[in-house]
Amino acid sequence: MDLPVAPGAAGVTRTERSAGPAAQASANPRAAHERALLVRIVEQTLDAMEPMVVRILRDEAVSAEHALHIVVMDPTRDRQAAFGDAILLERSFGDPAQWKADYAWYAREKTRVSWRERRSLRTLLAQCPDRLNAGDIRVEGAVRDGVWIIGASGAQPWYDHAIASVAVHLLEAALAQTSAAAAPESRAS
């Protein structure tokens, strides 16, 4: 589903992925609430990153098309989940209709390899290229850190990697803040 963009967020599109019919049917209300909270935290984190990303993308040496697409995998999904079903959220920065390349496709392909191997592409390429299959994308830009796997494409690969890394660390901070804020409530109940 396409989500409305925050005021002032020109050139940004959001897409939230559903958890798939089977997962939705078996989901309990608490799981649905927790997933909605997770999506909201990811959206807020990407909103917070937007000024930085837009500023970085203004430099044509970084991104000739001033474009970036980010794919965020659902950290609660089982490793055996199909890649498409495990995508939590995607966001484009820039105007996808004007892109000469399909950066969303590239971001998904980077993320797909990282999801399958449970490693950052930088690590795979440098330390275990033998794990790559014929047809796998061979450029960095998907990061695995802790439970998070986030891919990016549209900028130079080292910037894709850096922006995905920033997203991971900001998400970890946002989740820690959410847990800290909820801690007094859980003690009171």
| Domain residue ranges of the chain, discontinuous segments joined by + | 2-181
C-alpha pair distances (Å), 143 with each of 32, 121, 149, 152, 159: 26, 7, 6, 9, 12
Question: 69-120 pLDDT, tens per residue?
Answer: 999 999 999 889 999 999 999 999 999 999 999 999 999 999 999 999 999 9
User: What are the tens digits of pLDDT across the range 31-81?
Assistant: 888 889 999 999 999 999 999 999 999 999 999 999 999 999 999 998 899
Is residue 86 within 8 Å of 144, Cβ to Cβ? no
Read off φ and ψ for residue 61, nearest 5 degrees. -70, -25
Helical segments of 58-156, H only: 83-86, 103-117, 121-127
Tell me which residue has tokens 């900028």: 155
Would you state the CATH architecture of domain 2-181? 2-Layer Sandwich (3.30)
Least confident stretch, 9-13, 22-26, 147-151: 22-26
Do residues 23 and 85 make contact, with C-beta atoms less than 8 angstroms apart?
A: yes
Give the largest Cα separation in the chain, rounded. Answer: 55
